[in-house]
Amino acid sequence: MKTRSAIVLLGPPASGKGTQAQRIAASLGGLHISTGYLLRQAVLMGTPLGKQVQKYVDAGDLVPDGLVLSLVRETLAGIEDRVPAILDGFPRTLSQAEALDAFLPPNKVILIELDEGEVIRRITGRRIGPHGEPYHVLYNPPPPGVTATRRSDDREEVVRERLAVYQRQTEPLLDYYAQRKVLHRVSGLGSIGDVFRRIISSIGSDSAAREIE
């Protein structure tokens, strides 16, 4: 029986995991799996798993690992084994990684690296226009006369706490995957295309890569 290939993307907030996962999936003919998206869709569609998820959301609790993994399994059951899975920001903890290994051990784990200062610059500089349009004070400032606001969770103290949580959760994962010789580190600096090319090179699939600018 053919084993499905899988690539996991890890990285701090604002490292571009979701964007890169979409590009990798398009380049390799794979399926981009964002567990956050799966949870929201399951709730929206009212599936049996979605109803279970809704109970935890309503109570303000974290969705248990087993339920998240069930959603991943359910999603993969609907596609052919030859289609690779591109997991975006999952697993987040060592227990999730161990559970994932039981049915979908990743062939490659890509860590998109950004230092703390760059993460803070990217997030605290984000702004939202009056109609929801995204801006950034450094990279994409709002036009003159446009009033743009910052989300409350984009404040520096909130970002630093998110980074602390990420570091606590991710460090054991890096050791876990390094021991299995599947961990690859790439710089998250530069353009989206620059980071994409580094990832494709680390995956070793240059021939399959297509520029998606």
Active site residue 151: yes
Catalytic member of 40, 162, 185, 197 = 162
Tokens describing residue 173: 């994962």
Active-site annotation holder among 92, 150, 185, 197: 92
Q: Cα–Cα distance between 191 and 146 in angstroms, integer?
A: 26
Q: Spot the catalytic one: 51, 55, 82, 151.
A: 151
Q: Where are the alpha helices (DSSP H) in the chain?
A: 17-28, 35-45, 48-59, 65-77, 94-101, 116-124, 156-179, 192-203
Residue of 4, 23, 121, 126 marked catalytic: 126
For the question of residue 210 being annotated catalytic, the response is no
State both tokens at 203: 């995956």
192-203 and 17-28 helices cross at what angle (nearest 10)?
A: 50
Is residue 92 flagged as an active site residue?
yes
User: Active site includes 162?
Assistant: yes
- Is residue 23 annotated as a catalytic residue, yes or no? no
Annotated catalytic residue within 17, 23, 122, 127: 17
Q: Where in the sequence numbering do the catalytic residues fall?
A: 17, 92, 126, 151, 162
